Amino acid sequence: MSVKEKVGIVISNKMNKTIVVNVESRYSHPVYSKIMVKTKRYFAHDENQDCNIGDQVLVKECRPLSKKKCWVLVKIISKSSLVS
């Protein structure tokens, strides 16, 4: 079984060693053929606390680390242009 990997944008890094990643998926509506956007939030483990809000990151699935956290940060694809 392959390990699931997803690319998303960091929307929160306020928790200790945890980031919230927003992942968008686009699909065509079966009846109206309009392109729909579905977003889902994932809690991911960030061991070194490197991520900031707005960064594009790659996360992969792992064993459950807490009640909601079962993803881990693999790498930061691009840093945010916003400096905070």
What DSSP line would sit under 9-31, residue for residue?
EEEE--STTEEEEEEEEEEE-TT
**Tens digit of pLDDT for each residue in 72-84?**
999 999 998 876 5
Confidence of residue 70 (pLDDT cuts 50, 70, 90): very high
Mean pLDDT over the full length of the chain: 94
**Tens digit of pLDDT for each residue in 30-48?**
999 999 999 999 999 999 9
Query: What pLDDT sits at residue 2?
Result: 82
Are the beta carbons of 80 and 55 closer than 8 angstroms?
yes
Query: What pLDDT sits at residue 81?
Result: 80
Sign of CA dihedral 3, 73, 45, 6: negative
Q: How far apart are alpha carbons 61 and 23 in whole angstroms?
A: 14
Query: What pLDDT sits at residue 83?
Result: 61
